[in-house]
Amino acid sequence: MQSNLTRPDVEILEVLQADGRISNRDLAAKVALSPSPCWRRVRMLEEDGVIERYVALLAPEKLDLAVIAFAHVSLTDHHPESVEEFDAAVDRAPEVLECYMTSGEHDYMLKVITADMASYEHFLSEKMLRLPSVRTVNTGFVLRRKKYTTALPLPHPA
């Protein structure tokens, strides 16, 4: 789909990444289209799965979520049952914001958010280290956020 994006599609996506609640009329004005074609393009981007969903981004500090950690997880083995067990545990854990299977020294990297160190320790000891499939978890903690964005870099058609 990426190669099929037109200049107006990319402009629409850039505006929506900055403000997902913008009205169609305002969006159309920003991308120099009339409202009907703009609405059709947005619908097409939704139907094609380029736009997955619309969300509200919450401020963790306003919700007393102060600890952000990156946990590097190594499994005991890579049997399908072990991977399925780990994947299911991650899916059940609301503390896990993101999970990536990685190459290199560790098998997975988790982005985890909790209220404090005690709740991170509870997550680690009760949800991760109790899994027979987990061999080790090495954690790094965020000291200060330097950049945060959900906006993807978009290709600009020639």
Kindly give the confidence (pLDDT) of every residue in the chain, 158 residues in length, as a single tens digit, with 9 standing for 90 and above.
446 899 999 999 999 999 999 999 999 999 999 999 999 999 999 999 999 999 999 999 999 999 999 999 999 999 999 999 999 999 999 999 999 999 999 999 999 999 999 999 999 999 999 999 999 999 999 999 999 999 999 998 87
* Nearest alpha-carbon partner for 114 in 71, 65, 61: 65
135 found inside a domain: yes
Number of domains in the chain: 2
* Nearest alpha-carbon partner for 138 in 82, 84, 72: 72
151 found inside a domain: no
Burial of 109 from C-beta contacts in 10 A (0-12 / 13-18 / 19+): middle
Specify whether 36 is located in the same domain as 90.
no
105 found inside a domain: yes
Specify whether 66 is located in the same domain as 39.
no
Specify whether 121 is located in the same domain as 75.
yes
Specify whether 6 is located in the same domain as 40.
yes
Q: Give residue 1's pLDDT.
A: 42
CATH number for the domain spanning 18: value is: 1.10.10.10
Q: Give residue 3's pLDDT.
A: 61
Specify whether 34 is located in the same domain as 80.
no
Specify whether 76 is located in the same domain as 100.
yes
Specify whether 24 is located in the same domain as 65.
no
7: containing domain: 2-47
85 found inside a domain: yes
CATH number for the domain spanning 74: value is: 3.30.70.920
